[in-house]
Amino acid sequence: MPQNSHLRNTVAIPTQYRREKMTDLPTKTDRTLGLVIDLDTCVGCHACVISCKGWNTENYGAPLSDQRPYGTEPMGTFLNRVHSYEVQPEQGNAQTVHFPKSCLHCENAPCVTVCPTGASYKRVEDGIVLVNEDHCIGCGLCAWACPYGARELDQAEGVMKKCTLCVDRIYNENLPEEDQIPSCVRTCPAGARHFGDLSDPNSDVSQLVESRGGFDLMPEMGTLPINKYLPPRLKDSWDDQSLLAPLLEPVAEEPQGFLGWLDKALDKLPGGTA
């Protein structure tokens, strides 16, 4: 067998997956697989966006199309996008936060129940929210129901696309073990993305959420997202925390010597402040 044969095999979703009747949500899932995203570590490089686009264009389901990729106003379907925000506290400096956003695989997923065809569903065995693209009529109502902008109607295929949590990687035994995680997690050079079972309190991801105070996006929507976000750590304060700070006080507030003379001389010239 050629060495890279696994790359050409598309092993996919187990065909015998269990589903609830109709688009009702399962009352309980066996596991709740999801992502934990560390806003402290994310550097906003968009590598997860690109690897997601690549994997999900070449593998499960309709490819993620682009429109006018080299023209004016290029656009395309992405399952993961990185925003950048500025957080300005009441006192102190503003902080930049890079903010990757993809499907949160909500426990109470409003996108599933609104689906009129049964194409959208939440898997009982692992809680992943998927779209059966052969049944999707492309009405777009699930995207309307999602508060997070996690679903995008592919403009070329006319079907709804969303994060599959790389269901065709995580169970794909043709891939080396280290690759059996979502593409975005595998790619992240900063280690800002973590994948695991959030229903198991002892899993690495659950421990991270516990120790770092992981939180939900828009909890008031009642969607009960599986994916959690870890807050940026507070920045050190120079004055409080450095033992060396007193020794490093600026020695001269006003320029001395030659610079002091130059400062005064320039001020005396027309247009100066003196």
Residue 108 is a binding residue for other proteins (CB under 8 A)? no
Residue 26 is a binding residue for other proteins (CB under 8 A)? no
CA distance 261 to 255: 8
Residue 96 is a binding residue for other proteins (CB under 8 A)? yes
Residue 145 is a binding residue for other proteins (CB under 8 A)? yes
Please give the order of strands across the beta sheet that includes 33-38. Answer: 193-197, 33-38, 228-230
Are the beta carbons of 103 and 129 closer than 8 angstroms? yes
Bridge partners of 130? Answer: 121
Residue 178 C-beta: closest distance to other proteins, Å: 28
**Binders of other proteins in range 29-48 (CB under 8 A):** 39, 46
Residue 245 C-beta: closest distance to other proteins, Å: 24
Stretches 108-116, 162-170, 246-254, 259-267: which one binds other proteins (CB under 8 A)? 108-116
Q: Which is nearer to other proteins, 6 or 46 (CB)?
A: 46
Nearest residue to 106 (alpha-carbon basis) of 146, 135, 143, 136:
146
CA distance 92 to 113: 45
Residue 56 C-beta: closest distance to other proteins, Å: 15
Residue 63 is a binding residue for other proteins (CB under 8 A)? no
Tell me which of 14, 54, 158, 191 binds other proteins, using CB under 8 A.
158
**Binders of other proteins in range 206-265 (CB under 8 A):** 215-222, 229, 231-232
Bridge partners of 106? Answer: none
Total residues in contact with other proteins, by rule CB under 8 A: 71
Residue 82 is a binding residue for other proteins (CB under 8 A)? yes
Residue 257 C-beta: closest distance to other proteins, Å: 42
Q: Which is nearer to other proteins, 39 or 166 (CB)?
A: 39
Tell me which of 9, 84, 237, 242 binds other proteins, using CB under 8 A.
84
Residue 52 is a binding residue for other proteins (CB under 8 A)? no
Tell me which of 54, 138, 201, 272 binds other proteins, using CB under 8 A.
138
User: Residues of 46-61 as b/e, b for ≥16 C-beta within 10 angstroms?
Assistant: bbbbebbbebbeebbb
Residue 141 is a binding residue for other proteins (CB under 8 A)? yes
- The answer for residues whose C-beta is within 8 angstroms of residue 29's C-beta and 6 or more apart is 107, 122, 123, 124, 125, 126, 127, 199
CA distance 190 to 83: 16
233: amino acid identity, one letter: R
Please say whether the dihedral angle defined by the alpha carbons of residues 134, 60, 120 and 13, taken in this order, is positive or negative: positive
